[in-house]
Amino acid sequence: MPTHAQINVPKLGQVEVPTGLFIDNEWVESSSKETFPTINPATGKHFLEFSHAKQEDVNRAVKSSRKAFKTVWGNNVAATERAALIHKFADLIERDADKIGALESLNSGKGVRIAREFDVGDSVACLRYYAGLADKSHGQTINHFGNEKFVYTLHQPIGVCGQIIPWNYPLMMWAWKVGPALAAGCTIVMKPSELTPLTALVMCDLAKEAGIPAGVINTLPGLGSTTGDAISRHMDIDKVAFTGSVATGRKISIAAAESNLKKVTLELGGKSPSMIFNSADIEEAASWVAMGIWFNSGQDCTASSRLYVQEEIYDSFIHALTAKAKACAIGQPSDEFTSFGPLISETQRDKVLAYIESGRSEGARVITGGQKWEKSNGGYWVEPTILADTNSSMKVVKEEIFGPVISVSKFKTEEEVIDLANDTTYGLGAAVFTNDAGQQTRLSQKIDAGTIWLNQYGILHPSVPFGGFKHSGIGRELGTYGLEAYQQVKAVHQNL
Ligand code: NAD
C-alpha cells in the first residue's frame, strides 16, 4: 500500500494526497499493511484507502514523540521559538487554503466555500492565537515566608499527548488540539476520525515544511477500536484529549484509568436549548436559531437542537423558522453557494431519518423537511427539518440526533423554561432570546451549560473557553484554559 494517492479535486484537477502514517517526519505504511476505506458523502462512492495504524505503529509514534519531547521540544525550546514555528505553520496553511478547503469539502461533504473560509480560516486563527499565548504563561513567586524560604511555580508541558478527534470539523478540531499542545511544548500523537483523515494528514507536510521538528506531530489514521484504543491505553502517553461522543469518551476515560492514569480532557455531545421569549425580535432570533441548527447540516456538538418558544409567539416563530429552512443553500459540496451539504455517512443519514420517524410516531408535527433531499442521488442529504409540538418525554427531545432536526416546544413562564432547558444529561451550549436584560442575566446564571449565547447563536473565538457541563465533557478548550490543559504546575521550595 503506497503512502500517497492521486485524486481528482473539483477545480484543482489531479492532486497527490497522503494516505499513510506520519511518524518521525516520514510517511510510512502500517506495520500490518492493512488499510481502511473512506466514502465520499456526496456520492456514496469509494473515496480513498488509508493506512490503518496498529499497536506497533502507535508504539513507534509514541517513541518518536517521547524522544522529541526530551530533546527538541518541551522545555528544550524557548516559547518564543515555538511561537515562531506555529506562526510559520499557520502561514503555510493560509498559503494552501484553497487546496485544503477543497480537500476538506471533498472528504467531509461541507460546502467548499464554508470549508475554505470557516474551517481553514478558524483553524489558522486558532494556531495564531496559541502562537501568541505561548510565551505569556508564567508561574508565580510565593515569597511570604520571610527569611525562611522562597517558593516559585513553573508551568511545564504535560509531555506526550494523544489526541483523538471526530469527523464533523476535521480540521478545526485538529487545530483546537494541536494549537495549545504545541504552544505548551507538548508532543502529539494525533488520530483523526476514520471517516475524515485527509486534512489532518495534509497538515503533516506543512508542519515539516514550517520546521517543526520530527516527532513533535505524529499522525496515525485508523479505527477507534484499534488505533484509538491503543492510544488511550498506552503506558507512555501522558494525556489524552478527545472530542467525540459520550459513549467513546467513557471508554477512553476507562482505558486511561486502567492503564497509566493519564490525564483526560473530553469534549462530548450536546442537546443545546434555545429559548425564545415574547420580547425577542422574531426575525433575528429565527436567523440565529436556523444557523445554529442547520450550519454544517446539523452535525455540530452545539447544534440548537431543542427550541422552546413562549406561547404567544409560538406560531409566528415557527412560521419565520420555516422560511429560513426553505432558504437553506442545500447543494453539492463543490458549489461555492452550498452551505448545507450531505450528512457524513449512510449510517448517520439513516439514524437521522429514524429519529424523524420516532418523532412522528410520538406525536410531533413535521412542519418542513423530514425526508431525504430529492436530489440526493447517492449522497446522504436529509432536508432541514422542523418537528413542532414536541415534549420532554420524546426521544427527539432527549437524545442527540447530530443532524438537521430541530424540536419545537411551547412554554409559558421563565421558571418553566429553565426547568425544561436543564432537563437533559448534556450541558454544552444554550441560547436566550429576550430584550429583558434582567432575564438575560437570570437565565445565564441558571442554565447549566458551558456557553450561553444572548440574542445570538454559535459564536466561538479562540480566546473564549469552550466545553461542557454534565455529560458534555471534562475540561475546557480554547482561551488560556485550553493552554493550561496541556500544562502541569510544579512548585519549587528553596530554603534561604
Ligand atoms: P465518535 O465518538 O464515534 O468518534 C470520535 C473519535 O473517537 C474518532 O476518531 C473515533 O475513531 C474515535 N474512537 C471511537 N472509538 C474509540 C475507542 N474505543 N477508543 C478510542 N477512540 C475511539 O464520535 P463521532 O461520531 O466521530 O463524532 C460525533 C460526536 O462528537 C457527537 O456526539 C458530537 O456531539 C461530538 N462532538 C463534540 C464536540 C465538542 O467540542 N464538544 C465537537 C465535535 C463533535
Residues 4-56 have pLDDT tens digits of: 999 999 989 999 999 999 999 999 999 999 999 999 999 999 999 999 999 99
| Closest ligand 1 atom to 251 CA | 18
Q: Which atom of ligand 1 is nearest to the CA of 248?
A: 2
Which of 115, 99, 136, 120 has the alpha carbon at shortest distance from 7? Answer: 99
pLDDT at 77: 96
pLDDT, mean of residues 201-214: 98
CA distance 474 to 268: 8
**Amino acid at site 434:** T
Tens digit of each residue's pLDDT (9 = 90 or more) over 428-483: 999 999 999 999 999 999 999 999 999 999 999 999 999 999 999 999 999 999 99
Distance CA 433, CA 440 (A): 8
Cβ 193 under 6 angstroms from ligand 1? yes
Query: Which ligand 1 atom sits nearest the alpha carbon of residue 267?
Result: 41
Give the orientation angle of helix 170-184 with respect to helix 97-108, to 10 degrees: 130
Query: 244: Cβ below 6 Å to ligand 1?
Result: yes
Pocket test for ligand 1, best of 110, 229, 233, 245 (most atoms within 8 A of CB): 245
Q: What CA–CA distance (Å, rounded) separates 225 from 131?
A: 33
Rg of the chain taking only CA atoms, in angstroms: 23
CA nearest ligand 1 atom 9, residue: 193
The pLDDT of residue 1 is above 80: no
**What does the pLDDT read at residue 2?**
87
* Distance (Å, whole) CA 124 – CA 64: 26
Q: Is the pLDDT of residue 486 over 90?
A: yes
Side-chain half-sphere CA neighbours of 473 within 13 A = 26
| pTM (two decimals) | 0.98
The pick from 301, 402, 405 for probing ligand 1's pocket by mutation, whose C-beta has the most ligand atoms within 8 angstroms, reads 301
Catalytic residues: 267
What's the pLDDT band for 375 if we cut at 50, 70, 90?
A: very high
The pLDDT value given to residue 434: 98
Q: Would you list the DSSP string of 181-242?
A: HHHHT-EEEEE--TTS-HHHHHHHHHHHHHTPPTTSEEE----IIIIIHHHHH-TT--EEEE
pLDDT per residue as tens digits for the range 248-296? 999 999 999 999 999 999 999 999 999 999 999 999 999 999 999 999 9
**Stretch 168-197: mean pLDDT:** 98
- Confirm if 310 and 276 have CB atoms less than 8 A apart: yes
Q: In what order do the strands lie in the sheet with 141-142?
A: 141-142, 149-157, 487-495
Mean pLDDT, the chain, whole residue set: 98
ipTM of the complex: 0.95
**245 alpha carbon – ligand 1 mean position (Å):** 4
Q: How far apart are CA 320 and CA 333, in angstroms?
A: 26
